[in-house]
Amino acid sequence: MSDVSTQLLDATRTGINRAAEILRGGGLAAFPTETVYGLGADACDGRAVAQIFDAKGRPAFNPLIVHVASLDMAQDIAVFNDDALRLAAAFWPGPLTLVLPLRPKANLSPLVSAGLPTVGIRLPEHPVAQQLLTAFDGPVAAPSANRSGKISPTSAAHVAAGLSGRIDAILDAGACPVGLESTIIGFDPMSTLLRSGGLPVEAIETCLGAHLASHSANATPNAAPNAPGQLTSHYAPTAALRLNATTTRKGELKLGFGPDTQADLNLSPSGDLVEAAANLFQYLHRLDAQNAPIAVAPIPAKGLGLAINDRLTRAAAPRP
Ligand code: TXA
Ligand code: MG
């Protein structure tokens, strides 16, 4: 879809109802979640879902996450095993996506799961997302609301910069508090980390009382992913990115972490990984707008640092 006029909606009752109406009419509405902004469509409407791929310029093999208003709705769509139920009880609503066997009777457009027998499903915590999902009263397919391969949006302005004129509406509720996409867990048959994200792996392992298996598709650059979406170059700013930079080279902008007097922007001067996650995409957007190479300080690989390093590594990877 292109050349449509994109309405900017406030996150009031009226705005939320209007966004639900757009979804019911087969349109596309971007909405806030606690992780990043999602680009929503009715998950049962194949034409609407196809428009998501078109608006994002997204490769068709990459399946979408279904957002639901309740665990009941989730169980109508997917078959939960014991570990999945335990994780949902502990962390939903929240930044966690579960990949589970799809119930054929759920009636989702097959485009949502890109033809896979599984579906990624999530119950978001953001009150505006919850109000929208409750008002719509059905599953909403929503990838992050950015053009494919670009940095995920953590504000309505980021969504508008990438998708204005290509989608029907943007529901604006300010900045996303977590700032990183959800953590994705699969069960095939072991509980497996498919994508690190806004819920730390350590919390999941503590809840399950076991280590997560890890997923190796990351090792195959830009291959059609079997647990998809893990394209090596992703979240890419236009400018080059250099990781683990302790010094800055001529012409580079510095993205700092911890005490750093050279930093142009600092993810967290106090070294707090939660604050750094919340700032990551916003700061990449801001530095990218200056069109110069970016040097990024080392980030510790623990807690949310795993997800931050994952996104930075993809952003720095050679472009396909
Ligand atoms: O926080 C989030 O997860 C955000 C907000 C909007 O909810 N959404 C998001 O969606 O990040 P997206 O499409 O940008 O990333 C979804 C990831 C992709 O890597 C996709 O391949 C994977 O989830 N995924 C979805 N369904 C899957 C499935 N059935 N099997 C394996 N991976 C799946
Ligand atoms: Mg995305």
Residues 87, 17, single domain; the answer is yes
CA distance 65 to 230: 14
Residues 288, 171, single domain; the answer is no
Does the beta carbon of 32 lie inside 6 Å of ligand 1?
A: no
List, in order, residues 6 or more apart from 135 with CB less than 8 Å away: 16, 17, 19, 20
CA distance 22 to 15: 11
pLDDT grade, residue 59 (50/70/90)?
A: low
- Answer whether residue 123 shows pLDDT above 50: yes
Does the beta carbon of 33 lie inside 6 Å of ligand 1?
A: yes
CATH code assigned at 115: 3.90.870.10
pTM of the model: 0.87
- Answer whether residue 118 shows pLDDT above 90: yes
pLDDT grade, residue 31 (50/70/90)?
A: very high
Does the beta carbon of 143 lie inside 6 Å of ligand 1?
A: yes
Domain count, the chain: 2
Considering every ligand atom shown, identify the ligand nearest to the alpha carbon of residue 231 and give its number: 1
Residues 25, 139, single domain; the answer is yes
Residues 161, 42, single domain; the answer is yes
CATH code assigned at 304: 3.40.50.11030
Residues 264, 164, single domain; the answer is no
Percent of the chain at pLDDT above 70?
Answer: 91
Q: Which of 218, 253, 283 is the last residue of a domain?
A: 218
pLDDT on residue 303: 86
pLDDT tens for 281-306 read 889 989 989 999 999 999 999 888 98
Residues 279, 130, single domain; the answer is no
Higher-pLDDT residue of 161, 282: 161
Count of beta carbons in the 10 Å neighbourhood of residue 82 = 9
Residue of 31, 65, 144 with the most ligand 1 atoms within 8 Å of its CB, for mutation:
65
CA distance 68 to 71: 8
123-160 CB burial, b ≥16 within 10 A, e <16:
bbbbebbbbbbebbebbbbbbbbbebbbbbbbbbebbb
Q: Cα(149) to centroid of ligand 2, in Å?
A: 7
Does the beta carbon of 181 lie inside 6 Å of ligand 1?
A: yes
Residues 22, 146, single domain; the answer is yes
Domain presence at residue 213: yes
Q: Which of 186, 218, 250 is the last residue of a domain?
A: 218
Residues 186, 292, single domain; the answer is no
Q: With both helix axes pointing from N to C terminus, report the angle between 156-163 and 273-288 in degrees, rounded to the nearest 10.
A: 40
Mean pLDDT of the chain: 90
The DSSP bridge partners found for residue 118 are 101
Q: What are phi and psi of 294, to 5 degrees?
A: -120, 130
pLDDT tens for 216-269 read 544 333 333 444 445 556 667 778 899 999 999 999 999 999 999 889 999 999
Q: Please give the residue range of the domain that contains residue 245.
A: 241-316
Residues 57, 163, single domain; the answer is yes
